[in-house]
Structure 1
Amino acid sequence: MPSVGTSPSAPVAQSQPAGVRYGPALALLASLFFMWGFITVINNTLLPHLRSVFELNYTQTTLIESVWFIAYFVASIPSAKLIEWVGYKKSLVIGLLTMAAGAVGMMLAAMIPSYGVTLVMLFIIASGITLLQVAANPYVAVCGKPETASARLNLVQALNSMGTMLAPMFGAYLILGRTKGGTAAEGAVALTQAERLADAQSVILPYALVAGVLVVLAIIIARFPLPAMVSESDDAKEKRKHIINPELFKHRNLVFGIPAIFIYLIAEIGVGNLFINFVSRPDIGNMSLEQAGHYLTFLWGGMMVGRFVGSAIMSRFDAAHVLAVFSVGAFITMLVTSFADGHVAMWSLILVGLFHSIMFPTIFTLGIKGLGPLTEEASGLLVMAIAGGALVFVQGWIADAYDLQTSFLLTAACELYVLFYALWGSKPTHAEPEPEPEPDALFD
């Protein structure tokens, strides 16, 4: 973690009796990836909803998502400290209950309604997700053979993508589909004060359902016998005496991996946040916000398919090479989105989900490759880099100053840095020897 004095060490599997398998635990952990993907992508339907309710421009709308991703930066170090105090399992439970509390708070914000309370509650939900990310990502990475870590993390991230695929249908039906603003085209109607109040309260039911599921999942995790994860070696304790361990900066794959995560998140979040507004435009998809929300399912569905396929491909081919190919595909689709018209631009934007699919988990595992006892510190820095999503407001500003379609050129530029990372920045330097895996399977 960035603050080694306040972070747990790289987790390793505690010695288990012969025949113990990690599969059941990883299957349960995959449900966490599903839930934080689901809740994050609800924002993609929530943002056009709030834009209508509070009469926001694109900059103000994307600033809502910026608050969400600032939580990743603020909460990462406290999350690492909490894991050190109470362990991985209890931290997962606390993360789920924190998210549930934020979901209940969203119901309160809708009743008032209050833009400020909405921002606070979204920050709380994102803080809970950050705790899950700090605990679950490195846990999954070490539960199996080191050389298949990218494939393993891509596979559980596919469950994350399943959540992101289902969330737009959930949000389109229960949020946009039950509001006057959501059933109209972008900017087609002016709501009265009473209509805005009624529209604002449409989020009460979906967030009540989310809060209930999170509490149930927390209870299941608390009662499930997850494999124990031991903390650190004496060498790791020695290396954790610095605020930021200088040994981290000897690893090129981490040094360039941190900005790779940061920049990639600007691309992914910008596409998801502005998708509905872009597709509903008369010159692109010519449809209502609710209808555009259903098309968002194809974007996130492409990410799910890409992660399943990517997991299989990277079990046979070098992860960095696969990342390079996908980044080129993403760059081309974003150029088409920026300059084409009508359904060509719409489907090109949908297709970028397929190319984005493997980027986060692959950059993450390449970034921690060969770091040995520094793995947890490096994981914390990479999770903090998710705060790059907070800069999505830059794309909102470009959309206001120039044009929404033009703003996707920023996304295209982000893909080029990912290509640079895949071709050169991800090459490890001063790599630690990888431990011999036990047992010998992707999930064992």
Structure 2
Amino acid sequence: MPGNARWQRHLEHFLLRFGDSLPYRVSDTPVIQRISTVSELSFDVSALPSRYRLAVCSLWDNFERPSPAPGEVPWHGEAVTAEWLTAVLARDAPGARVEGIQVLGGDNGSSARRTFAIEWNREGRAASLPERVFTKSTPTLPMRLSAGKAAPAEGQFLTDLRPHLPIEAPRCFWTGRDPVSGRSFHLMNDLVHERGATFCRADSEIDRAQAEQVIDTLAVLHGTFLNASCALDSSFLRTYENFFDAAARNRIEAGHDEAMIRAAHVIPEGVLARKASIWPSAVEAAKAHDRSPRTVIHSDVHLGNWYVTEDDRMGLSDWARVCRGFWGRDLAYSLMTVLAVEDRRAWEHALIERYCDALSEHSGAALDVDDAWDAYRAQACLALLMWTPTLCPPPTLPDMQPEATSLEMIKRITTAMDDHDILSVA
């Protein structure tokens, strides 16, 4: 790591100004003194505690904006070079070489997402190498504290397990995470270019046939890994409880409490009256994952993570929170966010019955509709806790969604909770 006075001043300013936003108070530790001289700035940062180390490395990346050598994890999608892409994408195409890269667009949320056009030489074009790619990276500290730590599991799922599942989902060409700096990076196919995908938004209308495809996709995913004959190894995935406990350590309860006040105008009165029981109910719902047969769940199946292909297939993207847990979470979270309120009310009974039939087909074990309904109701509070902290994120989490999207999702979930009187038993 270069040792220069400019970088030192920015680092000290960053730690002094933003130290209190970290879970542990940097201003109460000797970390600044430990790196207070220029000569010490080039020491091995792995000696620092984890969160300080990620802060130091993310700051350095943003100021120095390094280009990755082949094999290194890029700090940002916009940092990749023609040489790096050639090494990754042309391994099996002798003579192929990237000659140009163009950033086509992107946005920032839980990660930094970018789309690129790639210009190949003649050998690359002859080998039909990808002309458009999509990247996910974690250039900032909040991104590295959240999505970055989950990146290895997402990458391994996409490379090792996803190819064996008959579902519409992204393909991953390369994935990596550097444990010292916290950089993470996924290089994937561009779904818009390759599949004609249109990504859903908070105001997207999902019709009945598309809703059935959502249910069928989840049943394939869950049923495959519930089936006793499944030979796919998912043991590398964390449990859902790991995610929930990490979120709790990031103080999402405080964000939830603040959001229940800020979003009160879209929340039914019956839910507001019992809002104190939401967090305890969510804690109990998380414990249910340990008491139930585990399968692989996507865990973040809200409307914005679904897309529609040009041949009208529903696809599921953003597998950052894929884990081993209880299928009821995905079932509740999807129906309560993907569907508009009136459509959910009209279709949810039939869709849950469809899920039971499809899950039984793929898992080889019968699922009783009444048990599915119990799971659907019980996991609702956990679905809500994906969106209240998104509206009012704690300092350790990035801003992930527009306010209007968060409010719409909170409205849909709490209306479902009110419709089914979910908090009455809390």
Check whether TM > 0.5.
no
More strand by share: 2
More helix by share: 1
Larger radius of gyration: 2
Kindly indicate whether structure 1 or structure 2 has the higher relative contact order, using CA contacts under 8 Å at least 6 residues apart.
1
Q: Please give the TM-score of this superposition, normalised by the length of structure 2.
A: 0.19
Q: Please give the TM-score of this superposition, normalised by the length of structure 1.
A: 0.18
